[in-house]
Chain A
Amino acid sequence: MIHYLARRLLGLIPLLVGITLITFFVIHLAPGKPTDILTDLNPKISLQVRERLAKVYGLDQPLHRQYLQWILRMVRLDFGRSFMDDRSVWDKIAERIPVTLWINLLAMVSLFLIAVPLGVWGAIRAGTFLDHVTTLLIFIGFAAPTFWLALLLMQFFGIQLRWLPLSGLVSLDYDRMTPLEKGTDLIRHLILPVFVSAFGGLAGVSRYMRASLSEVLGQDYIRTARAKGLSEHQVLYKHALRNALLPIVTILGLSVPGLLGGSVIFETIFAIPGLGRLFYDSAMARDYPVVMGILTIGAVLTLLGNLLADLGYAWVDPRIRISGEK
């Protein structure tokens, strides 16, 4: 097992280098230079100045050399400095992680808390009129564009009813609030963004749940359970639901790497400073070090996630472990 683990970890290194190599070159394929954005079309900024800036940023060097410098820094875990404001890339990313992580986590929890009961409910009442209505509503919601939905909700809860704040993470006078008020303030700000980001996944997960449970309910062992005279409650929750949850757990596992992937759309609409916006802004500004930093972290997380999943399989299924060692 340890041998297997070591081999897999070593195997990640060339993979990671390959990924960064390809991303680095693809990013530079996009037309435009960081200095274009920095200087806009400002006649006060002369050509000589732009050329000088390109030099200061090292953009005048051949691409392979730029990559080499980048990877040599990476080996020392130095992500470099942003072209936009010269701050350390790592700092820029790190300050955004908590916000994105928390919102995604909350959204994921609420998503499963709503979607699973909804699916169960649908499976029990499969084919009834109510089931059809719910299905229709869920799919209308699924089809509604996030930004549109977000704006409607903001208009309704923020302007019409004035129940919830419109945007941002905290109120302007947050710093002068008591801890209790702070908590309430934060929650009030989070309700809409969390709801909107959970809402998109609702249709998918609840449908999976419904399909999976419907299938299980048709199995022989459920008939057996019923024949034994178990109550419907016991049949459903003790026997059927447990088995039906397996695919849901798989989906849950697969969405873990997505916890750090921010959503540009809702972060922009709700004015939340998350990773998605950082990535988008950096890409638009051709801020290569930041773009590379975020992509590299994403790649590492994905690779580690895969590795963990494989290890999990290997642990439960000796066949994988053995064929891996041959």
Chain B
Amino acid sequence: MILISFLLLPAVLLGCSPAVNSSSLIPSSDGTPAYGDAFVTGSIGDARTLIPILASDSASGDICGLIFNGLVRYNPRLELEGDLAENWEVSEDHLTITFHLRKNVRWHDGVPFTAKDVEFTYQQLIAPAVKTPYSGDFERVELLQVVDDFTIRVKYKEPFVPGLASWGMGILPRHLLEGKDLNSTEFSRHPVGTGSYRFVRWKTGELIELEANPDYYEGKPYINRYLYRIIPDQATMFLELQGLGIDSTGLTPLQFNRQTETSFLKRQFQKFRYPSFGYTYLGFNLNDKRFSDLRVRRAITAAIDRQEIIQGILLGLGTELTGPFPTESWAYNHSVQPIVYDPALAKWLLAEAGWEDHDRDGWLDKEGIKFEFTIITNQGNDQRKMAAEIIQKRLAEIGISVKVQVIEWSSFISEFIDKRRFEAVLLGWSLSRDPDLYDIWHSSKTKEGEFNFLGYANSEVDELLIEGRRTFDQKERQRIYHRLHELIAKDAPVIFLYVPDALPVVHRRFHGVEVAPIGIGYNFIEWYVPQGEQRYTR
């Protein structure tokens, strides 16, 4: 369920802690910024490729985000701003975007960055033989034109707002890759980019090391080295944090609330908490005639106490939501009222729909058939399993019998989701920063392998989705998505359960760490360790 957010932020924070002995307590210091030291983080998985247009896993995305730049990026308030492009303009007819590129940018090998590199990257993105999963957004481009060395004009077949954000894709160096097979080139293990950090080495399954790029167009980052350790086990990761073998990691709610409350860890680490960019939901197969009845869906929504799930599973470290956008997004409509927990209402609605306990066996039935269904979820996510179990208990109280089945990821997708063999699913979406949700909610996206696997269809929603993609004016676009939010909330095709909080910790010697709607890590190049506190020196 990882929606790749590489485009948007060097997701610097997944990690662990550096191993130094405990006597090196952090002295108070004058706190002036200084160059030097290393940031050590940990990742469950190793990267697969360091070519941004081929990278689809989060580890590869994290590293590519530091080595490469796109033309645009999201600022801390989740608005698009120029990155390699200084600015851009959109034509009157909304079909053409003209990017004006920065002139002072060099590749890590010293060669100047130009519009030719952008053109080359685009050609690779749409080349059929290149194994990129991101071609979709770029196939909507009708024509890409290099106006001069620092101007690029992109013409779309029809107005396509998410197209702008898609230019956050990392740009590749033409002078190193032209004529090479991108799929198999050695470049994927020795990348050269324009980003704040440049590649040093990659020991497969162990470590990726980057160093500060002194020639970075925004200035040299303070932290000298960036070390990405591969630690596949969560328990080991937490031990490494305690042993100071890593400087940063993402915590589980239990670790955040209890296990990090020791005086040692509190002294060493600073904890952060902010809503993540995704949500967990219970979705119904809307082709099932029990769930195609709105009353039944609303009844089940009212029968589930979302606060109980957030308290029980996330230990309170999450928020409720009412619609399909992350709560931090400008598209989220805060005026939509949630359906509150009300089992009596749930029973009444079900009775309206014909579901009553006619045979007095304790379970609801209709036309002689008992109301029972199975919730499936994927293996490896205990929070989802536990949420399903709480739902199971609450629904039993109103007379619906629920089974829970946990299935290995690949089978889960190919045998159950893609083939629509489920009654209800408990899953999550991590979303991109652009609020376009066409692929998830549009009624045309229901083929095998597409993402509207619940079979949701609402013609007004369909229209709004298309309109949202064509409207560049943010105010207008916000109005569209607020309306969309309202409609989906009313239809209740899924029960929006919670937005889990991201819970990173960072070692206290790092200064300048700030939380914004986009999270932390967006200003990584401004983080620093004052001279006296530096740990990794050479």
A-to-B contact residues, CB < 8 Å: 30-33, 36-53, 56-57, 81, 84-87, 92, 95-96, 147, 151, 154-155, 158-159, 162, 165-169, 171-173, 176, 268-271, 273, 277-278, 281, 284, 286
Contacts and interface: CB of A to CB of B under 8 A. Distances in A.
Contacts of A32: 408-411, 413-415
B536 A173 contact: yes
A145 to B, nearest CB: 12
B82 interface: no
B414 A158 contact: no
Nearest to B22: A162
A286 B134 CA distance: 21
Given A38-B56, A85-B48, A44 B432 contact: yes
Interface in B1-58: 1-4, 18-19, 21-22, 38, 40, 45-46, 48-49, 56
B514 interface: no
Nearest to A83: B131
A33 B232 contact: no
B239 to A, nearest CB: 5
Given A168-B229, A284-B409, 10 more contacts: A30-B411, A32-B408, A41-B1, A44-B134, A52-B128, A81-B184, A86-B184, A159-B243, A172-B18, A273-B205
Nearest to B166: A44
Contacts of B236: 151, 154, 166-167, 268-271
B410 A33 contact: yes
Contact of A31 (B56, B133, B411, B538): B411
Contact of A41 (B189, B232, B451): B451
A104 B496 CA distance: 49
A87 B185 CA distance: 9
Which are the 7 A-B pairs with shortest beta-carbon distances?
A: A273-B205, A32-B410, A43-B439, A31-B411, A46-B136, A45-B133, A85-B48
B188 A47 contact: no
A151 B133 contact: no
A122 to B, nearest CB: 34
Interface string B415-458: 10100000000010100100001011000000111110000000
Given A44-B4, A56-B129, A271-B231, A155 B19 contact: no
27 contacts: A30-B411, A32-B409, A32-B413, A32-B414, A39-B56, A40-B1, A40-B2, A42-B133, A44-B4, A44-B136, A49-B135, A56-B131, A85-B49, A85-B188, A96-B205, A147-B235, A151-B239, A159-B239, A162-B243, A165-B19, A166-B245, A171-B19, A173-B536, A269-B236, A273-B204, A277-B205, A277-B232
Interface of B: 1-4, 18-19, 21-22, 38, 40, 45-46, 48-49, 56, 128-129, 131-137, 183-184, 188-189, 203-207, 227, 229-233, 235-236, 239-240, 242-243, 245, 408-411, 413-415, 417, 427, 429, 432, 437, 439-440, 447-451, 536, 538
B151 to A, nearest CB: 27
Interface centre among A271, A278, A286 (most CB of B within 10 A): A271
Contacts of B21: 162
Interface centre among B128, B135, B236, B432 (most CB of A within 10 A): B236
B430 to A, nearest CB: 9
A258 B293 CA distance: 58
Nearest to B441: A43
A269 B415 CA distance: 31
Interface centre among B137, B242, B245 (most CB of A within 10 A): B245
A184 to B, nearest CB: 15
Given A44-B134, A269-B236, A271-B230, A158 B243 contact: yes
A277 B129 CA distance: 30
A165 B137 CA distance: 46
B413 A41 contact: yes
A36 B414 contact: yes
Contact of B230 (A86, A159, A171, A273): A273
A287 B242 CA distance: 35
Interface centre among B21, B128, B129, B231 (most CB of A within 10 A): B231
B20 to A, nearest CB: 10
B131 A42 contact: no
A151 B236 CA distance: 7
B439 A46 contact: yes
